[in-house]
Amino acid sequence: MNLIVVSNRVSRGKVNEPMTGGLAAALLPVVEKSGAIWVGSSGRVRDGSQKEPFAEIEALGTGALATLDLPAAHYGGYYEGFANSALWPALHSRTDLIRVSPDDYASYREVNAFMARALLRFEKPDSVFWIQDYHFLALGAELRDLGVTQPIGFFLHTPWPARGIIGCVPHHRELVEAMLAYDLIGFQTEEDCENFLACVRLDLDLAVHDGVVISSHGKTRAAVFPIGIDPENFARQAAKAVTHPDVSRLRRSLNGEKLAIGVDRLDYSKGLVNRVKAFDRMWTLQPSLVRTVSLLQIATPSRGTIEAYGKLQSEVAGLVSDVNGRHGEADWTPIRYLNKGYSQAVLAGLYRTAQVGVVTPLQDGMNLVAKEYVAAQNAADPGVLVLSKFAGAANELDAALLVNPHDIDGMARTIATALSMPLTERRMRWEATMAKLRGGTIRRWFADFVDALQDSRFDKTEIATMVTEPSSRWPHRSANFGARVS
């Protein structure tokens, strides 16, 4: 098998360099060892007149990393536009933040088609394509249009919301229909998978049997593959990191005070405003916690050119400054707020230093910070994870303290409970959570998906013998005036 993995963001993975984005960081160690070719954006653009689309092809572990300069004319409409101002808000149930122009969709499809053409360079008879995430919902369909017959799988790292919500995205039907060109579609949770299949059933009027959809593309299986981490490796990194200068300086600065930690991209899905409000409330309700616990919030800037992100940056910064102004002292800062990224090697040590990990997104596909926080703990004296019930990770990590991120008082009380939890309970909860992490590692996720993908491509002649019920509904008329976006 010749595996080709595709994602918008890729990682070169120097353990000492900051990494943005859970997907790229999670994939790196497994892709490196798999011998796969990992294809993604170089982060730069070009005018498209060059024959060679690849900016660079370099060795990565036993495989290779190939990056493309995406077409300049379409990059904005694709990345800031359709992917991150239409799909991302909808996938995270923030339809109020959808901003989209007709050109954005055309650019999104252009970039998907451009990537498909570029991938042909690596195509071999035994190729297996694995496409990652919402940037490339239509890439499988573009590959099929180019005559690719090998297995093509897709994994969605974000949630897939209820049908009425995804229905707010222009062209959503066309996109769901295009997704059926994939042989296997993986989701983080049962709920995401069911929501997707409900769209297929009700919007496309197609039958679904045991997670399998039959369409004009053939057969598509939808299934759940919760992504994991390498907990043993992370634990080793964390134990080593306590001597890292950044980590030991933090430890010294605490003077015996307790620490809570949050690590997120600065994104409205992460619930940062409510988290800061919960700490504010906690210090107000329990003044004894003033000067005895502080919050280290790392919020790595992301997608700053999009209006919603600019606004969020100002809102969180304003709120943090207000809380620090009210609860702070000349020699004590309640919230240490940092807008930069850290390497995994340092993050592991920061997690281990904190008695509480606060992972309270309003919506999240999985959230690997939750898993990393747990893996980084000292088994003899572990910290406590406070986890939003709306993160995919909550399905597995039910021994964490689960919270509703919209309930500020509830979160304030739960964080205080975590801070005072006795050692025996902390150990019990930590062991139960670690057992889950060990049972669902990133290696297993990768292997399970690739195995299922190899099994999922079925004989095309089967389609002819499949009987699909004639629809009793009126056909849907697309509102794009029949134009093929090219």
Which residues are catalytic, by number? Answer: 157, 364
**Distance of alpha carbon 259 from alpha carbon 377, whole angstroms:** 13
At its nearest, how many Å lie between ligand F6P and the CB of residue 334? 27
Task: Please spell the DSSP secondary structure of 181-214, one letter per residue.
Answer: TSSEEEESSHHHHHHHHHHHHHHS---EETTEEE
Q: Considering the complex, what minimum distance in angstroms separates the CB of residue 20 from ligand F6P?
A: 5
Under rule CB under 6 A, which residues in 103-162 are in contact with ligand F6P? 133, 157-158
Instruction: Quote the CA–CA distance of 349 and 17 in Å, as a whole number.
Output: 15
Among 53, 77, 365, 440, binds ligand F6P (CB under 6 A): 365
Residues 6+ apart with CB under 8 A from 131: 6, 7, 139, 140, 152, 153, 154, 155, 182
Q: How far is CA 85 from CA 90, 104, 110, 145, in A?
A: 9, 9, 17, 27
Q: Smallest gap, in angstroms, from Cβ of residue 484 to ligand F6P?
A: 28
What is the distance between the alpha carbons of residues 411 and 417, in angstroms, rounded to a whole number?
10
- Give the whole-angstrom CA distance, residue 79 versus residue 306: 10
Which parts of 13-32 interact with ligand F6P (CB under 6 A)? 20-23
Q: Which residue number is nearest to ligand F6P in terms of Cβ?
A: 23
Unique residue bearing structure tokens 């700053």: 304
User: 291-323 burial by CB neighbour count: b if 16+ within 10 A, else e?
Assistant: bebbbbbbbbebbeebebbeebbeebeebbeeb
The rounded radius of gyration (Å) of the Cα atoms in the chain is 23
Could you say whether residue 303 binds ligand F6P (CB under 6 A)?
A: yes
Using the structure block, give the residue that is written with the tokens 């993160």: 391
Tell me the site size for ligand F6P, rule CB under 6 A. Answer: 13
Question: What's the min distance (Å) between Cβ of 215 and ligand F6P?
Answer: 26
Contact indicator for 225, 155 with CB cutoff of 8 Å: yes
Decide: 279 and 412 in contact? Cβ < 8 Å.
yes
Single residue of 74, 171, 244, 265 touching ligand F6P by CB under 6 A: 265
436 touches ligand F6P by CB under 6 A: no
Does residue 363 bind ligand F6P (CB under 6 A)? Answer: no
- Shortest distance, CB of residue 303 to ligand F6P, whole angstroms? 6
Q: Which is nearer to ligand F6P, 20 or 480 (CB)?
A: 20
Q: Residues, the chain, total?
A: 486
41 versus 441: smaller Cβ distance to ligand F6P = 41
Q: By C-beta, is 218 or 361 nearer to ligand F6P?
A: 361
**Closer Cβ to ligand F6P, 123 or 191, answer by number:** 191
CB of 79 to ligand F6P, least distance (A): 7
Closer of 21 and 271 to ligand F6P (Cβ): 21
Residue 13 or 383 having the CB closest to ligand F6P: 13
Point out which residues bind ligand F6P (CB under 6 A). Answer: 8-9, 20-23, 133, 157-158, 265, 302-303, 365
